[in-house]
Amino acid sequence: MIIGLTGKNGSGKGMASDFLKSMGYHYHSLSDAVREEITTRGQKITRDILITTANELRANFGPSILAERVLAKLDPEKNYIIDSIRNPFEVEALRRRRDFYLLMVDAETKLRFERLKARARENDPQDYDAFLKLEAAEAGSNNPNTQQLNRTCDMADAKVENNGTLEELNDEVRQVLRALSANLTRPSWDEYFMQIAMVAALRSNCIKRKVAAVIVRDHRVISTGYNGTPRGIKNCNEGGCPRCHTFGKSGEHLDECLCAHAEENAIAQAAYHGVRISGATLYSTYSPCLRCTKLIINSGIEEVIYSQAYPMEKIPMQLLGQAGVKVRQLENKQ
């Protein structure tokens, strides 16, 4: 789960972040991406330069650039906190991850001002009028590349009030986590097995196209295969397939290709290890060619699910339909 934090100055985002870190959440801040940029420029980090640089990055690379840079650092299996979210485009980018939730931390205005005075950071406003002026500047503007805190806060999935003790804040955050955890979504079985196939495709040694297939029965992988030269033959990328090594046009001289296809290898692997695949489902990163289609039909596979369409799929699709093999394309989800 990824918990994004937003809220106005002095609301207690750092306190909520510390509590989440104590539970094993890994911390990232969009402000850190700005600090990295400022450091590479050899500038001194101040509040004004942070704001100016962040606005400049959004203007030059798009309003979601800070979120994009942090997203690139995240592993899918870890819990994260992402702090300092201040722009709606950043929220939209982060929501490409289905496990992202935006949490707003709020507190009364005068209490937030007192907290800012107490922490005594350089460039923090030290009188109430200056504080309100800063609030207004960060709340929003007509420029989408600037901070838009009001609109960002309106996009929050949950909100906690931080007007009391630290323990009260922690309890509120804990309750929010319980509620959000109940809404967590996992990949469907189709998505799960297709993702396994996509990882398997990385093992392909073919220099023309990387393809993989996974054969599944009773929600269990029973065989896998990826395209490449046959067992004991020099790998395609090392010159084992002369046709591929000509680097000619796609689709030409297919009859000269020495590489076995992914579906072909998955079926052959099952036979090699004595695994029955009759009644199984085959997941493939591409729809099958005619040669693999005939093997699929004769092996008793009942369903084919693919991600992308093979350029020459018309006849194979017709043949699978005549043989009663179910076929469908899996919608590509983020």
The residues carrying an active-site annotation are 263
Amino acid at the residue 295 = L
CA proximity to 231, closest of 254, 203, 260, 256: 260
* Beta carbons within 8 Å of 173's beta carbon, 6+ residues apart: 16, 19, 20, 103, 160
Residue 279 backbone zone (phi > 0: left; psi -120 to 50: alpha; other: beta):
left
Q: Rounded CA gap, 196 and 230, in Å? A: 22
Scanning 202-250, the segments in alpha helix (DSSP H) are 242-245
Query: Which DSSP letter does residue 112 get?
Result: H
Going across the sheet that includes 80-83, the strands are: 26-29, 80-83, 2-6, 100-106, 158-161
